[in-house]
Chains A and B, each alone.
Chain A
């Protein structure tokens, strides 16, 4: 399925001011929101999964330490999601050919969608592939090196 080096970035650093809860650890099926996203990326063979952490960093890192992901700490009191994304992209520079990107609160994308996006990106001469459902743009994005 994958003949290029593909990574994934999950940004999980924010305040969640509207949700009033720590979103990465909210229950989702038999696991949590963040584990759901991690497992789906792993299901298509992605091994390099970067989690950008911030708020509740110790609790989050302890929760996912058995998953083999790489955690990068972002100063969530100063940084916005764009800064956290740049932190992860800079870390991945020269380590992969393309990377999926999603905020942690959009974890339900399917293995099928990831596969279709990889196939399409391999045939494109574009920098970013954005998935769309019924004309509404969503996540994860696929960003070429």
Chain B
């Protein structure tokens, strides 16, 4: 999906102080990190 984001056009990027924005449960490790 992150590859798909890179292909989008007319995209504005906004910086936010929220690490959860880049966390996902795509793997067991990612899921466990989210539960911490």
> Chain A residues in contact with chain B, CB under 8 A?
18-20, 23, 26-28, 33, 81-82, 103, 105-110, 112-113, 116-117, 120, 124, 126-134, 136-139, 141
Contact = CB atoms under 8 A, between A and B. Distances in A.
A127 B35 contact: no
A106 B31 CA distance: 10
Contact of A133 (B11, B12, B22, B31): B22
A136 B15 CA distance: 9
Contacts of B19: 133-134
Interface residues of B, number: 30
A129 B11 contact: yes
A72 B19 CA distance: 30
B20 A110 contact: yes
A134 B2 CA distance: 15
B11 A126 contact: yes
